[in-house]
């Protein structure tokens, strides 16, 4: 497990495109494969640079095999009440928001997702400015496999639900330091 480096934007782009081809993509991600594939290289370069910046408010983690294949990813967004809302409800406290979770099918069930989440949550809790009070994520009600993993990891429903396209909803789950599962 490690953070993405800025010069790895081609690999980050490819992993995102692969994620958007996954059968769960329509309920797991906010963009389509076609939308992501149409973005210019500069978009991917800036996205990877932001996710790799020390002291930044974004960090993308990848699970890398000994052969150098990226098996999975999760991105952590640091949110504060004064920030613009990216997705879901506005932050009421300083918090982390996990997004872009994807593990290649062949790596599922091998511990990769657990390791990615341990790394992402540990990084979020390690921040001293701002000191975060919780980690949140959203899961679509039609994504039971992801919801089961999140709950097993220690995320619990916060009581918040937001609408999603098609009349379905996204459930907010949270992981609070000192209250973990």
Name the helix (H) or strand (E) containing 119: helix 112-126
Q: Are 155 and 140 in contact (CB under 8 A)?
A: no
Tell me the domains of the chain and their CATH numbers: 2-176 (3.40.630.30)
Average pLDDT over the chain, rounded to an integer = 89
Contacts of 69 (CB under 8 A, 6+ apart): none
Residue 50, Cβ neighbours under 10 Å: how many? 16
What is the phi-psi region of residue 175: left when phi exceeds 0, alpha when psi lies from -120 to 50, beta otherwise? Answer: beta
Q: What are phi and psi of 177, to 5 degrees?
A: -60, 130
**Which residues on neighbouring strands pair with residue 72, listed in sequence order?**
63, 103
Residue 180's pLDDT band, with cuts at 50, 70 and 90, is very low
What separation in angstroms does the CA of 163 have from each of 31, 80, 87, 139, 171?
16, 22, 11, 11, 9
Q: Are 12 and 4 in contact (CB under 8 A)?
A: yes
Instruction: Report pLDDT digits (tens) over 124-176.
Output: 999 877 789 899 999 998 888 999 999 999 999 998 888 876 666 788 898 88
- Of the chain, the percentage scoring pLDDT greater than 70 comes to 95
Task: Between 2 and 176, name the one with better pLDDT.
Answer: 2
Distance CA 178, CA 176 (A): 6
Query: Tokens in use for 10?
Result: 């081609």
In the predicted structure, residue 52 carries a pLDDT above the cut 90: no
Instruction: Report pLDDT digits (tens) over 15-39.
Output: 999 999 999 998 889 899 999 999 9
Mean pLDDT of 76-99: 89
The pLDDT of residue 118: 95
Give the chain's length: 181
The pLDDT of residue 56: 81
Distance CA 174, CA 179 (A): 10
The pLDDT of residue 181: 43
The pLDDT of residue 96: 93
pTM above 0.85, yes or no: yes
The pLDDT of residue 179: 46
In the predicted structure, residue 59 carries a pLDDT above the cut 70: yes
Instruction: Report pLDDT digits (tens) over 145-157.
Output: 999 999 999 999 9
């Amino acid at each position: 497990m490690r953070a993405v480096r800025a010069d790895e934007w081609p690999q980050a782009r490819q992993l995102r495109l692969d994620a958007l081809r996954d059968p769960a993509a329509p309920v797991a991600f906010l963009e389509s494969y076609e939308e992501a594939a149409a973005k210019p290289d500069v978009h991917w370069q800036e996205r990877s640079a932001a996710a790799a910046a020390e002291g930044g408010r974004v960090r993308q983690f990848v699970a890398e095999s000994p052969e150098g294949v990226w098996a999975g990813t999760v991105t952590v967004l640091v949110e504060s009440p004064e920030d613009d809302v990216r997705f879901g409800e506005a932050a009421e406290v300083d918090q982390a928001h996990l997004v872009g979770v994807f593990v290649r099918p062949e790596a599922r069930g091998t511990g990769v997702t657990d390791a990615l989440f341990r790394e992402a949550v540990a990084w979020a809790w390690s921040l001293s400015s701002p000191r975060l009070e919780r980690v949140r994520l959203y899961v679509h009600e039609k994504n039971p496999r992801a919801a089961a993993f999140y709950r097993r990891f220690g995320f619990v429903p916060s009581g918040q639900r937001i609408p999603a396209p098609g009349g379905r909803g996204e459930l907010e789950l949270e992981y609070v330091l000192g209250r973990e599962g």
